[in-house]
Structure 1
């Protein structure tokens, strides 16, 4: 069973997501929280596999809660998926740096919500297209790093760098396999090695490293 924690300050929204997820045979909604402080306390006590976290909440917002929950965490830390609306897209980069594994828009359909949970727990990135556009725009406005291979990337092989670039363009494992003429199992192995060498928890964090080091440049 996949253990889930739903966090939202609106009771109807919170219960709605809980009912959708709880109806799935492989999901167990172990708790619900109405603010960030409660979310951190419940997550540490209940140890969910994934936390569905709203961005804007009283007492402690979703970004601060994510940072508190994941800072220094190893191994057993849950995945965190943020819930946002178009007007909150500016929080994307900060939340990803805090450790969020992806974003969902609040108008997500029940089927998309269920699929998203599986996607994140399978290690794939989860970002709505509009959010990806906003993140790229954010990187475009930042000073670009100098050329050359940054220290943080020097342990990666040429093939691993190719896979990381493909990840940064939003490719799935299957798409990377087809693009680089590799088997899906080989791509999965490369991704695992990239995460280990970069000391990041998932693909989203690896993509952030790719942009920040200048391996991938935003295309305007």
Structure 2
């Protein structure tokens, strides 16, 4: 399978009791799975959600087989148009899961960090743009995708052929000619750092750190579904 995209979130809240953490994780996964089934065109895919305590940390990830992605791309008018469509759908459901993850803790001034990571299709989309801008050739972009996919590239010749053909048909942006410009030399005085003078400062007194009490037991909930209609699997571990 290939990684279509993932989102991570960190919410500054106190550790939840195990039953509450399980209930929160299950509800989040179910809402995310329902939204994905409604908004992602792929016939099949896998979902995984990990949630652990500390500050509350989570990661949601979508994966799919290259053959399934290829079958869906064939339904669109053009390989690149299909890549853009599926990528936008993945980003939309990633936004949804991050918003739903934060929603139960919105009261109060809590620190929240959300990061999205684009998957293979997002990287393919970026390569198309780079070829359009003449930053790399179609052959170079194809080799980059082969490196990203690894063994999946060898087992998916139809995908690689469609990719190579589409990159070869990309309409390049007009080439811009760079006019010569005068290079200004920065005054030497601006490049020199002022020398440090004076006697060395005494090192401030540092008190010995107090012994840290052992942290209470924390839990991690892992929920995943290996296919769109597969059984939801759950594990809870202490650490």
Give the TM-score normalised by the residue count of structure 2.
0.25
Give the TM-score normalised by the residue count of structure 1.
0.26
| The structure with more strand, counted as a fraction of residues | 2
Higher RCO (CA < 8 A, seq sep 6+): 2
Q: Point out the structure with max Rg over C-alpha.
A: 2
| The structure with more helix, counted as a fraction of residues | 1
